[in-house]
Amino acid sequence: MWSLYWRLVGARIRSQMQYKVSFVLELLGFAVTTGLEFAVVVILFRRFPSVQGWSVVEVGVLYGLSSIAFSLAEMFGRGFDAPFETMMQRGAFDTVLLRPLDSFFQVFASELQLRRLGRTLQGGLVLAYSFAQLSIQWTAAKLLLLPVTIISGTVIFGALLVMGATLCFWTIKTPEVINALTFGGQELTSYPLSIYNRSIRNVFLFVIPLAFVNYPAVLLLLERSDPFGLPAGAAWASPLVAAIFLGIARSFWQLGVSKYASTGS
Amino acid sequence: MRLYYEIALRSFRRAMTYRTAYIAGLLTNAFFAALRCAVLIAVYQSSGVDSRVAGFTLQDALSYTWITQSLISIGAGWVAFDIMLTIRSGDVVTDLMRPWSFWGYWLSRFWGERLFNLLIRGALTYVLGILYFSAHIPTLGQAAGFACAISLALLVSFGYTLLVNLTAFWLIDNTGVVIIANILLSFFSGFLLPISFFPPVLAALARALPFQAITGLPAQVFLGHVAGPELVQTLALQVWWAVILNGLGLLVLQLALRKVVVQGG
């Protein structure tokens, strides 16, 4: 399965590398566009001393982790976006169902957008700068927590992309609402979860577990405590949460496929 | 004149047809507004809720967030790309051959759609802001000023959209231009953050550029931050940018028609 994945995706990568200048420009374009998000945070912090006692570099750690996870999810998961939507509108999903391979795998392997690494780069820079400004007592556990958090975050954002795509089986067009959860989720997780009111907090901890993208992990890294009593140890639950959420997305996808009625033409 | 009125009317009706699309869009805008408000409430709390920052009280900042989010669908943050799609497909030829003004045709279509978005989608979004965040309810005078400012903003926005779209005559794939155009618009128009929050150099730059005439200025008129002789000055500035951008747009259109070979067949 994996060798097939790399063959399919390898073809996508080679085609993207055909126009090197254009590729580099797109990469930089993404880095700058998304950099603007953090510029807004910095400008806000020039006017206000802190957000509930979080300084700008502490918010930078939150932002960096979330931005990296989101960019990786977009890189791997955008097959569930535009290519899939076009497939649905043209009735081309029929072909996918005819092939002797899982439909989820085929759509997943249909795209890998390297240019999204522009955001990864930007998020990485923000994260590196923030770490350099903070004096964190690094331990083996904390170092391990970084990749664990990033991978879990990627999976959580990725599962959201899958759910958005699945709605296509009913609506044909990917509804705009899913942007509220993906881009909105990125914006939401750029600030400490504790600034949101109770209902928003509960939704993003227990229903759509976007909070696990970074918040508990950053509590643990910065040795902060949550004013509402969320234990920092919850950071280690994020892989489990991500796995469950992806499982739900996967089942939802299967349900969508079973309801699929071709647009035909 | 009758012709352009009919075009605008049809465009208005078309926008009205996609009911689920605008309700979904409206909820997305409201969700983003609510997130930004949570951030603003948190930062204002850290420096005393009653404080005034860059001339904005907390309540002003919340109202500003809601009005700018409500204006998204009339082009506060991104440019529309209907015209460039016709240039890419070659359909633009048919539109150019018709016995009407190309500029007038697109302006009428643009007005019809935007008017719908303003009166229904935008207004409903703002009502949510009034209900949940007690956003500012304008006085009759402020509303009248806003009506003038927003009409001019639509003209400025149309001129800018036209210019960006026309680059497709030369570039065919002008994705890069659109990305840059959107960055400039969303940042320097005051859509992401009020311009008065910017550091002095950036604020001066933003005030020298046309983008604030699209979002920032109408929003300030709406909140009553600009009134009396200042209001006249603001409107005059908007007229100035409307004339410049549309003049440039018409000029570029002439150049394009003289030089360019149209795609398609």
Question: Following DSSP, what letter does each residue of A38-86 receive, concatenated?
Answer: HHHHHHHHHHSS-BTTB-HHHHHHHHHHHHHHHHHHHHHHGGGTHHHHH
Closest CA of chain A from B72, distance in Å:
14
**pLDDT band at residue A259 under the 50/70/90 scheme:** confident
Residue A200 lies in a domain: yes
Note the pLDDT tens digit of each residue in B131-168: 999 899 999 999 999 999 999 999 999 999 999 998 88
**pLDDT band at residue B171 under the 50/70/90 scheme:** confident
Contact B54, A46 (CB under 8 A): no
Q: Please indicate whether, in this complex, the C-beta atoms of A191 and B42 are within 8 angstroms of each other.
A: yes
Note the pLDDT tens digit of each residue in B45-83: 887 767 888 889 999 999 999 999 999 888 777 788 788
Closest CA of chain B from A95, distance in Å:
27
Name which residue leads in pLDDT, A186 or A82. Answer: A186
Q: Please indicate whether, in this complex, the C-beta atoms of A184 and B31 are within 8 angstroms of each other.
A: yes
- Phi, psi at B82, each rounded to 5°: -60, -45
DSSP conformational letter for B197 = G
How many structural domains are present in chain A?
A: 1
Taking a contact as any Cβ pair under 8 Å apart, which residues of chain B between 159 and 188 contact chain A? Answer: 176, 179-180, 182-183, 186-187
Name which residue leads in pLDDT, A32 or A72. Answer: A72
Q: What is the dihedral of CA B157, B158, B160, B165, to 10 degrees?
A: 140
**pLDDT band at residue B261 under the 50/70/90 scheme:** low
**How many residues in chain A?**
265
Partner residue facing A184 (CB), from B32, B187, B197: B32
Partner residue facing A49 (CB), from B25, B47, B193: B47
Q: Closest residue of A to B187, CA-based?
A: A36
Q: CA-CA distance, B226 to B215, in Å (whole number)? A: 14
Q: Which tokens in the block code for residue B217? A: 């200025």
pTM, full prediction? 0.88
For residue A48, the chain B residues in CB contact (below 8 A) are: 43-44, 46-47, 53
**pLDDT band at residue B207 under the 50/70/90 scheme:** very high
Q: Please indicate whether, in this complex, the C-beta atoms of A36 and B183 are within 8 angstroms of each other.
A: yes
Residue A263 lies in a domain: no
Taking a contact as any Cβ pair under 8 Å apart, which residues of chain A between 233 and 262 contact chain B? Answer: none
Residue A188 lies in a domain: yes
Nearest partner of A204 among A172, A224, A180, judged by Cα: A180
For residue A188, the chain B residues in CB contact (below 8 A) are: 35
- Phi, psi at A215, each rounded to 5°: -60, -55
Residue A36 lies in a domain: yes
Q: What is the mean pLDDT of residues B101-125?
A: 89
- Phi, psi at B53, each rounded to 5°: -115, 125
Residue A264 lies in a domain: no
Residue A20 lies in a domain: yes
Chain B CB within 8 Å of residue A184 CB: yes
Nearest partner of A236 among A152, A156, A158, judged by Cα: A152
Burial tier of A146 (Cβ tally within 10 Å: 0-12, 13-18, 19+): middle
pLDDT above 70 (res A217) = yes
- Give residues with Cβ within 8 angstroms of A173, minimum separation 6: A85, A89
pLDDT of residue A21: 80
- Give residues with Cβ within 8 angstroms of B78, minimum separation 6: B72, B182, B185, B186
Taking a contact as any Cβ pair under 8 Å apart, which residues of chain B between 81 and 140 contact chain A? Answer: none
Q: Please indicate whether, in this complex, the C-beta atoms of B24 and A200 are within 8 angstroms of each other.
A: no
| Coil, strand or helix at B80 | coil
pLDDT of residue B260: 67
pLDDT above 70 (res B246) = yes
Among B36, B46, B177, the strongest candidate for a mutation testing the A interface, having the largest count of A CBs within 10 A, is: B46
Closest CA of chain A from B25, distance in Å:
6
Chain A CB within 8 Å of residue B35 CB: yes
Strand partners, B53: B56
pLDDT of residue A175: 66
Q: CA-CA distance, A128 to A41, in Å (whole number)? A: 16
Which residue segment(s) compose the domain that A41 sits in? 2-258
pLDDT above 90 as % of chain B: 50
Note the pLDDT tens digit of each residue in A156-205: 999 999 998 888 888 777 666 777 788 888 989 999 999 998 888 999 99
Q: Please indicate whether, in this complex, the C-beta atoms of B186 and A36 are within 8 angstroms of each other.
A: yes
